[in-house]
Structure formats: structure tokens, C-alpha cells
A and B are shown apart, each in its own frame.
Chain A
Amino acid sequence: MNLPTLESINLAASLPVLILAGWACLLTAIDLFISPERKHWTAWLAVLGLLASGVALGFEAVAYSQRGAVSAFGDMAVVDGFALFLQGVFLLSAFLGILLALNYLPRHNIERGEYYTLLLFTTSGMMLMAMAADLIVVFLALELLSLPLYVLSGFAHPRLDSEEAAMKYFLLGAFASGFLVYGIALTYGGAGTTLLSGVVEALVGGGPAPNPVLAIVGMGLILVGLGFKVAAVPFHMWTPDVYQGAPTPVTAFMSVGAKAGGFAALLRVFLIAFPATGDTWGVVIAIIAALTMILGNVVAISQSNVKRMLAYSSIAHAGYVLVAVAAARYPEVEPLAVSAAVFYLLTYAVTNLGAFAIVIALERDDGTGVEVEDFAGLAKTRPWLAIAMTLFMLSLTGIPPSAGMVGKFFVFQAAVQASVGDPLILTVTIIGVLTSVISAFYYLRIPVMMYFRDGEGQANVQPALGVALALTALATFLLGVVPAPFLQMARHALLTLAG
């Protein structure tokens, strides 16, 4: 039996995650000694942890550009460009998630330090997910990501909506992990290992594969489990209720972080499995993508609650990323498709966090004020807010000059390349373009409401929220106008993924 050595564990490579998880543990203890009136200290300490992790990530990125990808925990995790890029996205989302909550929590009388520590824990789960190279790590990261989010959705306890949201999220999330674990068990039985690279070898033949069929069935169950996490149809039922019931900053963070975390795993697992299973699961993913885009966009039209509308919109956006995943099935399109997917996740993260920041500004202390009508007349009372919201809505629809347009463009570009000789992907791409047009109906309703209806749109922008809004609006604008450097980063990040 060979015990792991310090070299094979390579703690330095996973430093950003370790710093964040360790700091979250410490902060849990420190928070016990911070008096209830000074809980914003916990928030700033959490930001400090994010910063430290970000600095470590910066060093990792520099080291990566010099020596390429390295593995950690004895090949069970890998630090490559894909991991580093997504980890950056997660840290950014967590930072914005804290800014959004800073004033929201005391306003709603739910200021508890646990919000910030749980946020750090779930972020470290997401970051671990981005580096997972073994199904055990995928499972552990997914749970580390999900468990704090279950608690966070019930954070407004004893408000009933929030408790219900937590319960629903928890039951369906646990159900999904059941599928994931059983899928991993079957894959393990079929491939003889849980290492992703080993699973590939077993699937394409050559490895010690006792039963490839078992592994392919296992992959299907893993797809179900991850499908729940990213809210793809038909595993999306929990999304609207959970997004509506959870406290708005949690919804904002969840819609971005949990989704990107789920996609990190989905991309890793299926890109590696595609060479052997593309004929079965590639087709299924394409069909799921089409269903997700249609259902998300069509049902969103009839929503009057903005949080609920953004929930259906988040289902729809999962569909667009899935188009890129389906396109990545062809080796020659893979680099383009994967960089399009992670770039899309980045644009969706900044845009959606911004949109939710405005919802938070409008939300009254009793949780009302998040209907579409509440936006009426906002252009007169708060012109800057109206401009920012218009930008976010344009970005979610995919109209220039905004990040969302660039993200969609690259996804469809990859899809069109993949559709050569694949009528299914071509159909899915056309469905994607058509549903984007449909989505304009409900997204642009809000700008129309703000500019052309009379009303006394009320908003309450506190400093931290203002900073978050400015950052997201600027990022949405910049990513839309000069996307090249960021896309270059995403591309560069992806060169070594398939290893």
C-alpha cells in the first residue's frame, strides 16, 4: 500500500481553496465573540478572506502561466486554466454576494454572522468543484457547495417563505445527490476507478474496464444529479419557489454561484466522458438544452414577481450554457465551446448579480416591492438606477452593448461550428436564437415600465449596494464593449483542460 506523500498532495496548488475554507472555519469561531450590533465586522473579515484567497489565486495564475497545469491531492484535483478562471468568477460573485447582503440583512432583521461564514464555505465548495479531477472530489465539492446554500435559503427564518424555500431546495437537492452518488457508484463499478482520467481510459477501451455499459448508465445518473444543480429542464421544478422564497442576496448568489459550480462539474465530467459516450449523452444534453431554453423563456413571460421571473430566466440561461456543452462534444469545436461556456458564466454572473442588486434596492422591509409594477416611474425618481437596470435587462436578453450579447454570440458561434453535419445541434441553435427573441418580451417589460409608466418608483440604495451596482454595471458594459481581453483569458484558460 502506498501512502500519499506531501509532494503528491501538493498543498500549494490548492492554496486558494484551503485559505478560504480554513478562514471560514476560523471566522465561525471569531464570529461567536463579535457582538450582535457589530456583525458587519464579520462581513469585512469575510471580505478579507476572499482577498487573501484572491491573492493566492493570482500567484497560482502566474505560476500556471509559467509551468502549466499541476495536479493536487494525488491526481484527484487539478489546477489548470479552467479551474483558475472559474475560481476567479466564484471569488468575484462571493464578494458581490457580501456587498449585496451588507445592508439587506439588518434591514430585514436577520443579521447573523453565519451568513458570511456560510457564504465562504459554499464558495470554497465551488472552487473545489472547479479543480475536481476525481468523482469523489466532485461529490464532496458538490455537497460543500450545497449544504451551506440549503441553510442560507432558510436564512430569513422565521419567515415562512424562506423556510419553505429551504425545505424544497433541501429535499430536491438531497434527491439529486442520491442520483449523483448512485451514478458515481455505477461508474466506479464499470470503470474500476473514480479518477476521471481513468474513467476515460476504461470507456474508450484499453483500460481495465470490467463493464463499460455500467459506466455509461452511471454517467446518465450523474447527468441527472448535476442537471438538478444547474436547474435544467426537466429537473428545474424547485427553482422558482426557492428563488422567490430565499432572501434576495442569497438568491442572487445562488443563481450565479451554484449554477456555475454545477456547470464546472458538468463540463469536467462530460468533456472527459464525451469521446466514449458522445453518441448517447451528447444527444441527450442537446435535447435538454432545447427544452430548458423553451420552458424557461416561455414560462417567464407570465411572471409578475421579478424574483420569480429571474428564476425562470436563470433556467433559460442554463439552457444556453448547455448548448455550448452539447457543442463541445466535437473535438475540433471543444476549445471554442468550452471557452464560450465559461465566458457565458462570467457574463451571466455579473449581469444577474447586478439585476438582483436592483431588486434588493427596490425590496421593502416586509419583502414586498418586487413586482414588475413596482418599477413604474423609476426613470424619473432614480434615473441612474433605471439606466443600470436597462443595461442588465439588455444584457440578459443579449442586445448590445452588453456582456450578455457577447456571451450569447460566442455560444452560438461554437454551436454553429458544431452544427456542421449535425442537424440536431443546428435545430437547437435555431431554438436558442428564437427563444432569445422571445425573452425580449419579458426582460424589456421592465425598462418599458420604468420609462413609460407613471409611478413613484421607490428605491433604497445604501453605500455597499451602490458599490456592487457600480461594479456590476461597469463590468456588464465593459465585457460588452471590449470583450477581447477577457475572452482571451478564457481561451487561454482552456488550452489544457482536456488533459
Chain B
Amino acid sequence: MKEWTFIAILLIVSAMLPTVPIMGGRLLGPRKPNEQKSSTYECGVETVGDTWVQFKVQYYIFALVFLVFDIELVFLYPWAVAYNRLPLFGVIAGVVFIITLAEALIYAWRKGALEWL
């Protein structure tokens, strides 16, 4: 199991990296709590009301449209890498693929999926 020793050492070191400074700070540092200091850290203004609000449905539709286009790019990457060596119809095939994606975008746009109402 020689190959696993590396992983074991890595695990130990990576566990030590965050714990040592935190424990060190807690043990060595002076502690004088007041109300301001013990409040929850918040960058920006404080939250008003419940944080468990419902997102607008529009948010999901945007996410869905994004998701599909995002993943379809998986095919464009190898196409771009092999571009120099592709025969003509390979280039055309890629272009047809992009046109299809563009059509999908037009469809989403005409159906009003891109409006933020």
C-alpha cells in the first residue's frame, strides 16, 4: 500500500493547515466580547424580514436556459481544438450546431423567457 501513504500524509497535512491557526488563535489571543463583536458577521446592510423567501419563477427559467446553453458548449470545445484539421463538412457541421443553438435562443426570446417581469 505504498501509494496510499502519500494520500494519508496529504490528509494529515491538509487537516492541520486550518486547525493549527484556528486553535492557536483561540488559545493565545485575548478575548473581550461585546455586543457588536458577537453579532453575526454581515457584509453590507442587515437583513430585513425572513430570508426564506420564494424566488421568482423567472429565476428558474433563466437558470434552465443558461444550463442548456452552458452544457452544449461541451461540443464546441473539441471542435475548436481540432479546427485546423477538420475537413470542410466538419466545419459546416459545427456551424449548423451553432445555428441550432442560436435558433433555440431566438425561440426562448420570442416566447418571452428572457423577460424579467
Which residues in A have some Cβ–Cβ distance to B below 8 Å? 3, 5-6, 9, 25, 28-29, 32
Using CB atoms, name the residue of chain A closest to B99: A25
Q: How far is the CB of B50 from chain A (nearest CB, A)?
A: 28
Contact A32–B107 (Cβ < 8 Å): yes
Contact B85–A3 (Cβ < 8 Å): yes
Residues of B close to A5: CB separation below 8 A: 87
What is the interface size of chain B, counting residues whose CB is below 8 A from a CB of the partner? 11
| Complex-state Cα separation, A129 to B106, whole angstroms | 29
Contact residue among A3, A6, A9, A25 (Cβ-Cβ distance under 8 Å from B100):
A25
| A-B CB proximity, top 7 nearest | A32-B110, A6-B89, A29-B103, A28-B107, A25-B100, A25-B103, A3-B87
Known: A3-B90, A6-B87. 4 other contacts (CB 8 A): A28-B107, A29-B103, A29-B107, A32-B110
Q: How far is the CB of B48 from chain A (nearest CB, A)?
A: 34
Which residues in B have some Cβ–Cβ distance to A below 8 Å? 85-87, 89-90, 100, 103, 106-107, 110-111
Using CB atoms, name the residue of chain B closest to A33: B110
Residues of A close to B89: CB separation below 8 A: 6, 9
Residues of A close to B90: CB separation below 8 A: 3
Q: How far is the CB of A13 from chain B (nearest CB, A)?
A: 15
- Could you jot down 19 A-B contacts, CB within 8 Å? A3-B85, A3-B86, A3-B87, A3-B90, A5-B87, A6-B87, A6-B89, A9-B89, A25-B100, A25-B103, A28-B103, A28-B107, A29-B103, A29-B106, A29-B107, A32-B106, A32-B107, A32-B110, A32-B111
Residues of B close to A3: CB separation below 8 A: 85-87, 90
Residues of A close to B87: CB separation below 8 A: 3, 5-6
| Complex-state Cα separation, A9 to B110, whole angstroms | 35
Residues of B close to A32: CB separation below 8 A: 106-107, 110-111
| Complex-state Cα separation, A25 to B102, whole angstroms | 11
Q: How far is the CB of A95 from chain B (nearest CB, A)?
A: 25
Q: How far is the CB of A121 from chain B (nearest CB, A)?
A: 12
| Complex-state Cα separation, A28 to B89, whole angstroms | 25
Q: How far is the CB of B82 from chain A (nearest CB, A)?
A: 8
Using CB atoms, name the residue of chain B closest to A6: B89
Using CB atoms, name the residue of chain A closest to B110: A32
Q: How far is the CB of A92 from chain B (nearest CB, A)?
A: 28
Using CB atoms, name the residue of chain B closest to A1: B85
Residues of A close to B85: CB separation below 8 A: 3
| Complex-state Cα separation, A150 to B51, whole angstroms | 34
Using CB atoms, name the residue of chain A closest to B109: A32
| Complex-state Cα separation, A28 to B90, whole angstroms | 25
Using CB atoms, name the residue of chain A closest to B107: A28
Residues of B close to A29: CB separation below 8 A: 103, 106-107
Q: How far is the CB of B71 from chain A (nearest CB, A)?
A: 14
Residues of B close to A28: CB separation below 8 A: 103, 107
| Complex-state Cα separation, A413 to B111, whole angstroms | 54
Q: How far is the CB of A36 from chain B (nearest CB, A)?
A: 13
Q: How far is the CB of A118 from chain B (nearest CB, A)?
A: 13
| Complex-state Cα separation, A28 to B107, whole angstroms | 8
Q: How far is the CB of A45 from chain B (nearest CB, A)?
A: 16
Residues of A close to B110: CB separation below 8 A: 32
Q: How far is the CB of B36 from chain A (nearest CB, A)?
A: 50
| Complex-state Cα separation, A9 to B87, whole angstroms | 13
Q: How far is the CB of B65 from chain A (nearest CB, A)?
A: 15
| Complex-state Cα separation, A29 to B99, whole angstroms | 12
Q: How far is the CB of B90 from chain A (nearest CB, A)?
A: 7
| Complex-state Cα separation, A112 to B106, whole angstroms | 17
Residues of B close to A9: CB separation below 8 A: 89
| Complex-state Cα separation, A32 to B89, whole angstroms | 30
Using CB atoms, name the residue of chain A closest to B102: A29
| Complex-state Cα separation, A85 to B90, whole angstroms | 31
Q: How far is the CB of A143 from chain B (nearest CB, A)?
A: 14
Q: How far is the CB of B92 from chain A (nearest CB, A)?
A: 10
Residues of A close to B107: CB separation below 8 A: 28-29, 32
Q: How far is the CB of A111 from chain B (nearest CB, A)?
A: 16
| Complex-state Cα separation, A6 to B88, whole angstroms | 9
| Complex-state Cα separation, A455 to B67, whole angstroms | 54
Q: How far is the CB of B96 from chain A (nearest CB, A)?
A: 9
Using CB atoms, name the residue of chain B closest to A9: B89
Q: How far is the CB of B66 from chain A (nearest CB, A)?
A: 19
Q: How far is the CB of A459 from chain B (nearest CB, A)?
A: 36
| Complex-state Cα separation, A75 to B24, whole angstroms | 66
Q: How far is the CB of A155 from chain B (nearest CB, A)?
A: 15
Q: How far is the CB of B7 from chain A (nearest CB, A)?
A: 25
Residues of A close to B106: CB separation below 8 A: 29, 32
Q: How far is the CB of A21 from chain B (nearest CB, A)?
A: 10
Using CB atoms, name the residue of chain A closest to B106: A29
| Complex-state Cα separation, A182 to B90, whole angstroms | 30
| Complex-state Cα separation, A102 to B90, whole angstroms | 40
| Complex-state Cα separation, A29 to B100, whole angstroms | 10
Q: How far is the CB of A22 from chain B (nearest CB, A)?
A: 9
| Complex-state Cα separation, A291 to B96, whole angstroms | 47
Using CB atoms, name the residue of chain B closest to A31: B107
| Complex-state Cα separation, A28 to B86, whole angstroms | 30
Q: How far is the CB of A109 from chain B (nearest CB, A)?
A: 18
| Complex-state Cα separation, A463 to B87, whole angstroms | 51
Using CB atoms, name the residue of chain B closest to A26: B103
| Complex-state Cα separation, A6 to B103, whole angstroms | 26
